[in-house]
């Protein structure tokens, strides 16, 4: 069952460590394409896949070649390439991209076992999210766009505590130990993938509060590679200039410690990039329109679309700071990229969305 030449699936890679906001990002992304993504109907209730009209999101944990017991026996973590089947990942992503449905395995996070496979039909947009979307060169080549969520250790720790302690009942010690145990493999196999990403969202502690160690106020950088096909980086005021902007004043309510934006060119792993940074948090989401109106190349379809998306998902984690803001912007850029790819295939002149 091939979908034919014009209907090739656009493939997006999203890499991050677990507990770093991939699912939240996916919810923002699928919302930009209209409609929430749902697990496959009538399938395995432990499936990790999410499907909407336009997008299918698959979790790369499904390509674990070793199950939980196997990993324990061999003494390897889920981050270790030896616990993952990159040949199968490559074959299946390639097949989907070419319009061919595949029987993808399911890693059951509840049992730690590999369940019988599920059928994945080629969607318009396939997102592969997980630990290793850019690890294998062959898989990397299949990606039309790639994103890395780079959460600094301090912030990762704060989030993990929030989720694993508050929601899953783990102890502080066990969370610390599990982060420490993963670190060597994270540094060896996950982190290096960021050099290949077209966009990196880097999340750091704030610089607005001296010696802050709470990890509540965040400094977030959106690092956008220059020269990527169908992707024009967002800019603040004047493309290519170096800008520092504190928008707090008459138009934006800012309580302590305020908000600071910076923008400018930089290099990242030897590549030319544009970096937009936001430190601090919003008091009132509806006032985001003021910030939005000063940014260009947002790929919105109407004035205020970023703000509208943010307001729609005000309850998602990160909605009051740069994490949610930049994830939403990247979502819009991906929609634009998709539309440009489709338009160029159809041979129609490409009219980039105005912003
Ligand atoms: P993943 O899919 O990578 O495992 P999730 O999106 O489920 O990550 O997020 C895991 C947890 O991290 C959330 O429950 C939340 O506590 C925290 N988190 C994620 N994104 C943010 C954010 N932008 N700001 C604050 N906390 C966040
Ligand atoms: C999944 C996650 C990993 C996590 C693992 C748990 O594969 O993506 O991030 O570490 O499950 O594995 P464990 O060996 O602890 O069962």
> Domains along the chain?
1-147 (3.40.50.300), 198-343 (no CATH)
Instruction: Tell me how far the alpha carbon of residue 206 lies from the centroid of ligand 2, in angstroms.
Output: 30
Check if 112 has its Cβ closer than 6 Å to any atom of ligand 2.
yes
Q: Can you say whether residue 30 is alpha, beta or left, with left for phi > 0 and alpha for psi between -120 and 50 degrees?
A: alpha
47-101 pLDDT tens trace: 999 999 999 999 999 999 999 999 999 999 999 999 999 999 999 999 999 999 9
Q: Among 17, 138, 40, 23, which Cα is nearest to 89's? A: 138
Ligand 1, CB within 6 Å, residue ranges: 16, 18-24, 159, 162-163, 317-318, 323-324
Residue 252 near residue 291 (C-beta atoms within 8 A): yes
CA distance 290 to 48: 38
What pLDDT sits at residue 122? 97
H helices of 124-207, in order, are 137-142, 153-160, 172-185
Query: For 223-246, b where at least 16 C-beta lie within 10 A, e where not — what string?
Result: bbbbebebbbbbbbeeeeeeeeee
Closest atom of ligand 2 to CA, residue 112: 16
Ligand 1: atom nearest CA of 324 is 23
* pLDDT at position 51: 94
Q: Residue 58 has which token pair?
A: 């698959």
pLDDT value of residue 220: 98
| pLDDT beyond 70 at 5 | no
> Alpha-carbon distance 95 to 9, whole Å?
10
pLDDT value of residue 171: 85
Residue of 78, 106, 131 best suited for mutating to test ligand 2, as the one with most atoms within 8 Å of CB: 78
Ligand in nearest proximity to the CA of 323 = 1
**Which regions of the chain does DSSP assign to beta strands (E)?**
10-15, 50-51, 55-59, 102-107, 114-120, 125-130, 145-151, 199-205, 218-225, 235-236, 243-245, 259-268, 271-280, 295-296
**Which pLDDT tens digit goes with each residue over 137-196?**
999 999 999 999 999 988 988 888 877 777 777 888 888 888 888 899 999 999 999 999
Ligand nearest to the CA of 22: 1
Q: Which of 120-129, 178-187, 206-215 has the highest mean pLDDT?
A: 120-129
- Indicate the helix (H) or strand (E) that contains 19: none
Phi, psi angles (nearest 5°) of residue 60 = -70, -10
Tokens, residue 316: 């998602």
Cβ atoms of 203 and 218 within 8 Å: the answer is yes
Question: In the structure encoding, which two tokens stand for residue 164, read together?
Answer: 């694993």
User: In the prediction, which pLDDT does 353 show?
Assistant: 56
Nearest alpha-carbon partner for 224 in 215, 216, 236? 236
Tokens for 60? 């790369």
Cβ(263)–Cβ(277) under 8 Å? yes
**How confident is the model at residue 116, as a pLDDT?**
96
What's the pLDDT at 4? 45
pLDDT digits (tens, 9 = 90+) for 260-289: 999 999 999 999 999 999 999 998 888 899
Decide: 22 and 149 in contact? Cβ < 8 Å.
yes
Of the pLDDT bands very low, low, confident and very high (cuts 50, 70, 90), residue 332 is very high
Average pLDDT, the chain: 92
CA of 162 to the centre of ligand 1 (A): 9
How far is the C-alpha of 221 from the C-alpha of 238, rounded, in Å?
A: 18
C-beta of residue 316 within 8 angstroms of C-beta of residue 23? no
Total Cβ atoms within 10 A of residue 220:
24
DSSP β-bridge partners for residue 127 = 12, 57
């Amino acid at each position: 069952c091939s979908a034919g030449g014009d209907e090739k699936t656009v493939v997006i890679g999203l890499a991050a460590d677990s507990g770093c906001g991939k699912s939240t990002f996916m919810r923002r992304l699928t919302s930009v394409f209209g409609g929430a993504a749902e697990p496959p109907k009538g399938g395995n209730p432990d499936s990790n896949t999410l499907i909407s009209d336009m997008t299918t999101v698959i979790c790369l944990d499904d390509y674990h070649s070793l199950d939980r017991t196997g990993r324990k026996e061999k003494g390897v973590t889920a981050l270790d390439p030896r616990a993952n089947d990159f040949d199968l990942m490559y074959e299946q992503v390639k097949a989907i991209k070419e319009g061919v449905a595949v029987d993808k395995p399911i890693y059951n996070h509840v049992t730690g076992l590999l369940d019988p496979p599920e059928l994945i039909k080629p969607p318009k947009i396939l997102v592969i999210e997980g630990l290793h979307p850019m690890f294998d060169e062959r898989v990397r080549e299949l990606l039309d766009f790639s994103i890395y969520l780079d959460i600094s250790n301090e912030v990762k720790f704060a989030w993990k505590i929030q989720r694993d302690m508050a929601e899953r009942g783990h102890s502080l010690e066990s969370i610390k130990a599990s982060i420490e145990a993963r670190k060597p493999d994270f540094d060896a196999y996950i982190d290096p993938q960021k050099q290949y990403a077209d966009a990196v969202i880097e999340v750091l502690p704030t610089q607005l509060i001296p010696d802050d160690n709470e990890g509540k106020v965040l400094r977030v950088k959106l690092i956008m590679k220059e020269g990527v096909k169908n992707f024009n980086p967002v800019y603040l005021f004047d493309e290519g200039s170096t800008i520092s902007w504190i928008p707090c004043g008459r138009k934006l309510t800012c309580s302590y410690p305020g908000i600071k934006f910076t923008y400018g060119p930089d290099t990242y792993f030897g590549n030319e990039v544009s970096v937009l940074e936001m430190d601090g948090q919003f008091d009132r989401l509806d006032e985001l329109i003021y910030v939005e109106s000063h940014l260009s190349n947002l790929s919105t379809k109407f004035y205020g679309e970023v703000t509208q998306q943010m307001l729609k998902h005000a309850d998602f984690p990160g909605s009051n700071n740069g994490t949610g803001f930049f994830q939403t912007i990247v979502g819009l850029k991906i929609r634009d990229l998709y539309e440009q790819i489709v338009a160029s295939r159809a041979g129609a002149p490409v009219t980039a969305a105005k912003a």
